Amino acid sequence: MKTRALGASGLQLSVLGMGCWQYGGGSYWGEQSQKDVDLVVHRALDMGINYFDTAEVYNEGKSEISLGIALKGRREQAIIGSKISTAHARPEEIKRHCEASLTRMQTDYIDMYMLHWPLTAVSVKHFSDDEALIANLPSVSEVFDGLNMLKQEGKIRHIGISNHGLKQMDEVLATGVSVAANELAYSLFSRAIEAEVIPYCAQHQIGVIGYMPLQQGLLTGKFASLDEVRPMQARSRHFHHSRGHGTRHGEEGAEAEMNAALLELAAVAKELGVSMGTLSLAWAIANEHICSTIVGSRNLEQLEMNAGGAAYELSADAVSHLNRLTAPVLAKLGNNPDYYENRNGSRVV
């Protein structure tokens, strides 16, 4: 398993990372066997996969609990990234929530602790109905001073951010805190970060971690049509606003463009003799500006398929061809990487 340097942090992350959202089971992904989690985590470590990505909000903390159980006896082989909700970023809460995550994962440090979304009222509203908090958000400096204190205490080793845009990264860097990584959506259908975010991160030596490389299953080819996508997974701006359960964006989507691209991607995969999932994952990992690409594996079979995607190398011509095939989706959705809010009222700026 290849590794890449995470910005200026000194960390070397496997190019394929383990997304742990489904661990512990929950309403979004359904039940998840701890036995399968244990098998997947141990096999992943044996393969050289060292980055495991979770968050306090994933299944209300159950993801962290499940990951902690699976890593028993092998914690030192793993690099753990976890995230604190923007709704819990008041200075007096940061330490308490970090310590709760440490307890759930049965560890005394977190390798990288990230602010899950930027400090905006729109972000907080997604996780909290506390009107007082929404009206009086903590300042960026207060939050990152709190995170830096955790680093000084040894509870966390690196500070990261997730889903932050250029203006928001400027505000974070102005605090003087060293930022190891920015974690953002990146797939053949979610290419918004290419134009501005990736160059900014490269300039400031901030590592980029990509998530959702298979577009929540859509880019594996398992759906005969977009109508088969569950409403919970059709809430993003990729889909018409009428399709998803709890959709907030109000946009028209890019369904026609995705349908056309899926047919062409299937043809390319057939020509190369690989699955569409392998093709899609290999494309994401081929971008050397992406340190690690995280994807979930519910069982050993899925892990082996994902590892195959990490091992498959696309030629530069093939990458360029796939870029052209999916360019209409990018053009329709634009360069804002928040795929769940209207681009004119986004959490990411």
pLDDT at 292 over 90: yes
Is the pLDDT at 126 greater than 90? The verdict is no
Q: Which residue has the tokens 């907030």?
A: 248
- Which domains are assigned to the chain? 3-214+282-315 (3.20.20.100)
Give pLDDT, residue 142. Answer: 97
Report pLDDT for 192: 98
pLDDT of residue 277: 97
pLDDT band at 74 (very low <50, low <70, confident <90, very high): very high
Give the least confident one: 21-30, 44-53, 59-68, 297-306: 21-30
pLDDT tens figures, 244-261 = 888 999 999 999 999 999
Dist CA 41 CA 165 (whole Å): 32
Is pLDDT at 32 greater than 90 in this prediction?
Answer: yes
**Averaged pLDDT score across all residues of the chain:** 96
Q: Are 272 and 279 in contact (CB under 8 A)?
A: yes
**Percentage of the chain exceeding pLDDT 70:** 100
Mean pLDDT score, 324-339: 98
Around 123, how many Cα atoms within 13 Å sit in the side-chain half-sphere? Answer: 22
Predicted confidence at residue 29, as pLDDT, reads 86
Mean pLDDT of 277-294: 98
Q: Would you place residue 44 in the very low, low, confident or very high pLDDT band (cuts 50, 70, 90)?
A: very high
pLDDT in tens, 173-187: 999 999 999 999 999
